[in-house]
Structure 1
Amino acid sequence: MPSDEAAALVASLDLAPHPEGGWFRRTWTAPARVMTANGERATASGILFLLDDGQEAAWHKVISDELWLWHGPGALEIHLGGDADAPVEDPSPTVVQGNWAGGADSSGTPASTSGEAIPLVQFLVPAGTWQRTFARGGVALATCIVSPEFSFEDWQLAQSGN
């Protein structure tokens, strides 16, 4: 059951459940086309993606690059699991987007000239890399740009237990 804040955003942004967890809606598809190993795709596409506080998106990978653009208000903790047949578990986040004291560190959140942590608002997950995401410190909204275009034919969800 989503929190009141998440439910309100799901309704106002017209989001649908995503198979990996959370909610999404495609918002843009580039008009230009390109051939890929799996057929013709648009050169890029974008979605809104929402996770409720504490919610996780399951391990998955896409054959295209995916650029995460963080909107907040909660932080996104992104874990990368390599490019093998199954994700390699690492309990520490690869990167934290946004302000969350539990995960902000030099590898995930850059420092400003005054030395204070500033939010990392964009992060690239390379094509073919396992990833999973957690919302921390509140509901977390992001835009995900995939190039070439996202297609569920090009997406793989990890088997249960990974």
Structure 2
Amino acid sequence: MKSAETWIKELNLAEHPEGGFYKRTEESELSITSEHGQRSLYTSIYFLLTPASPSHFHRLKSDEVWYYHDGQPLVVHCLFPDGRYEAIQLGKDVANGQRLHYTVPRGTIFGSSVPVDYGLVSCVVAPGFDFRDFELFTQAALLKEYPQHQEIIKELAYERLPD
């Protein structure tokens, strides 16, 4: 198994504002008009997470499909609009409940973590990702809406948003 540093170098990944390391790999030549304006039909990235650099809680206006590739199993933490919390484990051990891919529904607040080493995935957003559709959250904002999920919010939401 390669190291996180090797993958970051080989894939030419950069830091993402939500945490982790990424590189946009594809963008559809087709575009659509959604309620949020003109968007590519889809976009795709490589995304690598480490324990020190998780994906902090954020929300998109599009669905996002996560595909597991390498490293340790990682967890996609979802805060659904109805108040439910769910932790979906991505990895290769499907016989024990891990999934090779998972779709985060649009409008869901979510983040992701890997407990040790790193996890490498690809993410496809449809309609395509646009930073205008990306919303990061602070702990204070999420605790007002989801006080019952304080533990995971303290773990995956920023105290202060990055500059």
Q: TM-score, normalised by structure 2?
A: 0.77
Q: Structure 1 vs Structure 2: percent identity of aligned residues?
A: 28
SS of the aligned residue for 2:73 comes to strand
Contact 2:75 2:89 in 1 (8 A): yes
The 1-side partners of 2:124 and 2:134 are apart by 14
Q: Tell me, which stretches of 5 or more residues in structure 2 are unaligned? A: 143-163
Of residues 83, 106, 110, the one that matches 1:131 is 110
Q: How many angstroms does 1:89 deviate by?
A: 8.2
Larger deviation: 131-140 or 15-24? 131-140
Two-structure CA RMSD over aligned residues (Å): 2.2
Q: TM-score, normalised by structure 1?
A: 0.77
Name the counterpart of 2:25. Answer: 27
Q: Which amino acid counterpart does residue 141 of structure 1 have in structure 2?
A: L
The 2-side partners of 1:20 and 1:143 are apart by 15
1:12-161 → structure 2 map (5 Å cutoff): 12-53=10-51, 55-83=53-81, 90=85, 94-98=87-91, 110-111=94-95, 117=96, 119-161=98-140
Q: Tell me, which stretches of 5 or more residues in structure 1 are unaligned? A: 100-108, 112-116
Contact 1:78 1:133 in 2 (8 A): yes
Structure number with the bigger relative contact order (C-alpha 8 A, sep ≥ 6) is 1
The 1-side partners of 2:45 and 2:31 are apart by 18
Q: Across the two proteins, how many residue pairs are aligned to each other? A: 140
Change (3 A) 1:17 1:55: closer
Q: How many angstroms does 1:7 deviate by?
A: 2.2
Structure holding more helix per residue: 2
Which portions of structure 1, spanning 4 or more consecutive aligned residues, are displaced by more than 3 angstroms? none
Change (3 A) 1:77 1:67: same
Contact 2:22 2:48 in 1 (8 A): yes
The 2-side partners of 1:20 and 1:130 are apart by 12
The 1-side partners of 2:138 and 2:36 are apart by 22
Q: Which amino acid counterpart does residue 56 of structure 2 have in structure 1?
A: A
